[in-house]
Amino acid sequence: MKKSILFVLVIAFSLVMEQAKADFTFVEPVNLKSIIPVIIPPDSVDCISFDGLEMYITSGQGHDNNLRIMRRASKDADWGPLEDLRPGVNSPSSYDDSTSSISADGLTLYFHSSQPGGYGSTDIYMTTRETKKDY
């Protein structure tokens, strides 16, 4: 009896659920060199904020990388200078802080780090800020 009720519920539930549709196709990629300033290797662009006004960069070499930022006032403005993030985001030298991603609201930064205190040799960390003017 319980199995038949469960079976009926599963069938009923599956009939009312909508199927996920993923029939989209990526088009030919576009090189963004017209909006991204020249970054000298080994530095690399990790991500651009949702509003397009901040660019997060991994800067350094080997296991001594740090996260840095470039900003601009509007999407039409030039990028400002490469700047260090506030103390506490990057760990002391000889640790790798890299591969960042900023949340859509611009207040939470996720990144990869080899600083001590994690679960393994590298972990994912996050840091928050009160406003987008803080960095």
pTM score, whole prediction: 0.74
**CB of 98 within 8 A of CB of 65?**
yes
Tell me if 45 is assigned to some domain.
yes
Is residue 11 in a domain?
no
* Domain limits for position 52: 21-128
Higher-confidence position of 94 and 27: 27
How confident is the model at residue 58, as a pLDDT? 92
Evaluate whether residue 79 is within a structural domain: yes
User: What's the structural domain count of the chain?
Assistant: 1
* Residue 42 vs residue 23, higher pLDDT: 42
Domain contains 37: yes
